[in-house]
Amino acid sequence: MAAGRAKGSKRSATGHGSDGLRTVARNRRARHDYDILETLECGIQLRGSEVKSLRAGRASLQDAYARVEDGELWLLGAHIPPYDHASGFGTHDPDRRRKLLAHRQEIDELLGRTQQQSLTLVPLAIYFRDGRAKVELALARGRRLYDKRRAIAARDAEREAAREMARAASWSAGRASHRYDGA
């Protein structure tokens, strides 16, 4: 047994954290193009070769979105390439619609809010939690170009302020350690 690990402790197969969370794909553009109002974790219905492809870290959420149709939640535009070692019967269509699994009340609420408030359902990430594939879905409002510029300027100003605070803290810590007590 490895030294330093308790007898009953478990690690995920990939060695990522103790919470069992392993991110496969992120939609980084979504946080730039949309104001995220609310997030929701959904399960996703996959085929075997899709799961293997996700475990290999191959997926893209670049132009993906979700929609409620006939009382069911669907993920559209997500690209999960075929698994390399699957052939013939085991392959899948990389751009097919995938059903998202959520509670009926959540689906009804999402349907109402997207229709009444002209909001969009955008996937932010696909990840594995305790061995099951999950999608982080966001209820979002699209940003206009000037909103994007304003968000970038605010983020840059915040980053600069944090940098100056760190610089001032390290400067004062350095000055305090070099003082002469006169004793």
Residue given tokens 């760190």 in the structure block: 166
Report strand pairing: 72-76 vs 120-129: unpaired
- pLDDT tens column, 25-54: 898 888 888 888 999 999 999 888 888 888
> How confident is the prediction for the chain on average, in pLDDT?
80
Domain boundaries, given as residue ranges, for the chain: 21-143, 144-174
- Count CA within 13 A, CB hemisphere, residue 173: 6
Among the ranges given (17-26, 38-47, 62-71, 94-103), the one the predictor scored with the smallest mean pLDDT: 17-26
Q: What is the pLDDT of residue 1?
A: 36
CATH no. for 21-143: 2.40.280.10
Task: Grade residue 178 by pLDDT with cuts at 50, 70 and 90.
Answer: low
